[in-house]
A and B are shown apart, each in its own frame.
Chain A
């Protein structure tokens, strides 16, 4: 049984390839020790709100950053964002939209909903690695979360 309270990075990603590539990037920087992957929006919400299989998790131990893909089955990334940023218990959790989409409406809506950062996943893997690395380093080491 994993200790969900120790999770530092939540990756919400339905595409297992992307998830693996992301993890690989984090691992390269030794940032993948406390990472879990949610396969869709519904699971992500369970995590945020400590329900379902994340019942054991406490609001008091929020992740240091959530990497949220916007195109998700069941509940879309923007919907997740909306709920998370609309709830006092979760609004302070840094959420970074990580998406393939360059579509302006997505970006615009995400920011309006209160996303903390917006990162586009490059096709080029080298660029992808460097993006993910800097993302992980920043949120885990540089950024000061709310205690």
Chain B
């Protein structure tokens, strides 16, 4: 509550007093209305007082922002004070207040409360006290407090509701601001990473933030209202109580370090037994009178920082000792090139104490020449910010002195160069040794580089240095080899053996080793090398490097390898045959000495070269009857110098006879003189046996064929003679029978009665019929005997021409002939023509009684056969006789129905089977017939 509010409250009280006075006056006025006359004076006085009061009240109300109102419950009229109008933002001119009209200004959320609170008061008689929000005519949101009281008449009827309306918007705002700032503060405390807590004026903890809880491993519930910093044991033990008291008693801010044993504070990131050091600040919060009302306690864990500080101090001390005691001279200069400090060693050298040096320049200590030189270097360091190392030679009193100096810039924590640090020392002794060494190295390098043998220096880690000859051997440049290790250019299989050899050297078991190993040339080829290696050691006998000489022996190795391979191959190849190979040396006298045979010699002959290497071995191996023949063969090779082969018999050690095939070739020297014969011997006994058996079988076969052929020829001859006889001798009598019966009819016509003539006619027609039978029989037998004269046949042409030939004009006109695309055939054209002839004439014959005879001819290919067919719509046949159709003189129809001798289909079948095909038929009585014949796609048949 601020000062203004207090004034307001006082005003409100005053106002209420005034109101009561006013009310009393009003009441008395109303009650005494009947005594008006009597009270006229009093009334006048009363009116004046009332008006005065009213004005006073209005003024007071305006100051207090407190309006008043009155609701006449009888008339339902509402009257407002000026301030009430102002609060609502209306004027008496533009607004007539009423309970309902006022309700329009109430904030929608408060409307219910507005009507309920009034209702409540009216019903119960309790005073009204309600906070409501108004939305004024000006659109402002105002928080208001309404108070009121109901007045009753004597009979207890409520007549008026009188009350006040106060604008409390500002107060509400102030309350909210306070709430917000409290929340803000709480938030700050809670979210602060700085562990802190707040105590009351007695030191009792009233608030603690999360950071503090987690630092001290406590919960709010444990400590709020319970912990008192003044009573803390550790504070007392560490004599910090007086400090704490100063906060509360004197309002001072204090700061101290508290040490906790970590065993008490679990979770500290320190080793056990260690101390945690907490930097604690306590500051008081005072009220306006300066009285301490609260204290804020902040903790910061500085344990690690403390530890780091301690470590740093120790380290500094160590460095100082080190710097003072090393043989090098050390100095430090600032940006202005003035000495800041030097070590003892340097100080001794120039005869000045380390204290005295501070602020001195080079000029103050050295000759101008030297000082300028040092200064120039210093300037470089400061300006470039780069470290420099120099080796310099000084001549002092005619004595050479080498000094090695390192100068480096010194930077602050921002990286700014603030000075420089220098270290220098005498390296004269080392320089001398280096020079000696360089000279010796040069000598060695010359020898190393120019050696024609590959040389390398190999460090124990594998890095290598090589000479020109080594590079050439492997095709790499010296740079490439320097970058690699010997293992990378060695054959993987040789790395282990090489390592073993080198380890002998390292162990000191041998001074040098020599071995063969394989390298890889840059182009991927293998390089064989004869390697000698020795190990250089230093004075302490520690291994330094290997010196290796490498001789390229690839060609020699390859030759050896090739020889080994070919020997191996020869042996394997020779061993893979069951036969054997030999080499015989031949001298100028043509004496033969067996030099080598494959191992199979023993297997095949049961003899070995160790039995006898002379030509006599052959006499044992070759069959006695063939020995001469064999040596003649050898002699022939030696004289003609040409290779040759023979087949002869061989005798094994066990006396078995075997047939062998010998292929032999002369070997000549560079003068074309024959020095050896190389031969391959193959056991051909099985073949020989097989051959002789085949020969025997062939002979037998030949004989049998001859016999058969003779028999066949005889049969054929008989057949021919028979048909010749038939064709001549059987026809003659028939001709006679026919002729004479005709003559009889002609010459004795008048003497023969009808029966006689009929008999004569039967005789003559029978003769004709028999003539036909004979002709057919003959042609049938001719088919069997004649040989095939095969060739390609255009079946379409053949079938069509047959139809044209054999059909008469009438048949051609009325027959519906369809010839499909026919496959070409291979066969005897005249015989196949006969087939078409017979089949088409059959079709014509048997379909002749149809109204429209239909004949269709076609073919189809089925695998290796082509099937042709002739289909008609004629009388057909019963399938149960289909087999008889193709028999000689077999007929299914009588002569009176259809002419014919029953030979045509027999001929067809004979011709087709002669061609390797088949002939068959399908049909049904009255529904036509189909005749098929098949021919092989290619071939001449039997």
Contact = CB atoms under 8 A, between A and B. Distances in A.
A123 B727 contact: no
B761 to A, nearest CB: 12
Nearest to A106: B724
A58 to B, nearest CB: 34
Nearest to B743: A24
Contacts of B741: 125
Given A17-B736, A18-B732, A101 B724 contact: yes
A101 B770 CA distance: 15
Given A18-B732, A21-B736, A100-B731, A125 B742 contact: yes
A126 interface: yes
A99 interface: yes
A124 B737 CA distance: 10
A124 B736 contact: no
B361 interface: no
B627 to A, nearest CB: 63
Given A18-B732, A100-B731, A102-B775, A123 B738 contact: yes
B731 A123 contact: yes
Nearest to A104: B782
Interface residues of B, number: 24
A128 interface: yes
B841 interface: no
Contact of A21 (B735, B767, B770): B735
A67 to B, nearest CB: 15
A103 B724 CA distance: 7
Given A123-B767, A125-B764, A100 B728 contact: yes
Interface string B722-756: 01100111011111101111110000000000000
B740 A17 contact: yes
Interface string A1-20: 00000000000000101100
Contacts of A100: 727-729, 731-732, 735
A101 B728 contact: yes
B775 A125 contact: no
A71 B732 CA distance: 11
Interface in B761-795: 764, 767-768, 770-771, 775, 778
B738 A99 contact: no
Interface residues of A, number: 18
A84 to B, nearest CB: 21
A125 B735 contact: yes
A125 B727 contact: no
Contact of A128 (B727, B728, B733, B735): B735
Contacts of A122: 735, 771
Interface in A75-101: 99-101
Interface string A108-133: 00000000000001111110100000
Given A15-B732, A17-B735, A24-B743, A124 B771 contact: yes
B832 to A, nearest CB: 19
A103 B728 CA distance: 9
Nearest to B742: A125
Nearest to B741: A125
Contacts of B771: 122-124
B483 to A, nearest CB: 103
Contacts of A124: 738, 768, 771
Contact of B727 (A24, A102, A126): A102
B768 A99 contact: no
Contacts of B727: 100-103
A71 to B, nearest CB: 5
Nearest to A100: B731
Interface string B39-59: 000000000000000000000
Given A17-B735, A121-B735, A125-B735, A99 B728 contact: yes
Contacts of B743: 24, 125
Contacts of B770: 123
Contacts of A99: 728
Contacts of A123: 731, 734-735, 738, 767-768, 770-771
Contacts of B740: 17
A124 B765 CA distance: 9
Contacts of A71: 728-729
Contacts of A128: 735, 739
Contacts of A17: 732-733, 735-736, 739-740
Nearest to B764: A125
29 contacts: A15-B732, A17-B733, A17-B735, A17-B739, A17-B740, A18-B736, A21-B735, A71-B729, A99-B728, A100-B727, A100-B728, A100-B731, A100-B732, A101-B728, A102-B727, A102-B778, A103-B723, A103-B724, A103-B727, A121-B731, A121-B735, A122-B735, A123-B738, A123-B767, A124-B738, A124-B768, A125-B741, A125-B743, A128-B739
6 nearest interchain CB pairs?
A123-B771, A17-B736, A125-B739, A100-B731, A125-B742, A21-B739
Given A18-B736, A101-B727, A128-B735, 18 more contacts: A15-B732, A15-B736, A17-B732, A17-B733, A18-B732, A24-B743, A100-B731, A100-B735, A101-B724, A103-B723, A103-B727, A121-B731, A121-B735, A123-B735, A123-B738, A125-B735, A125-B741, A125-B743
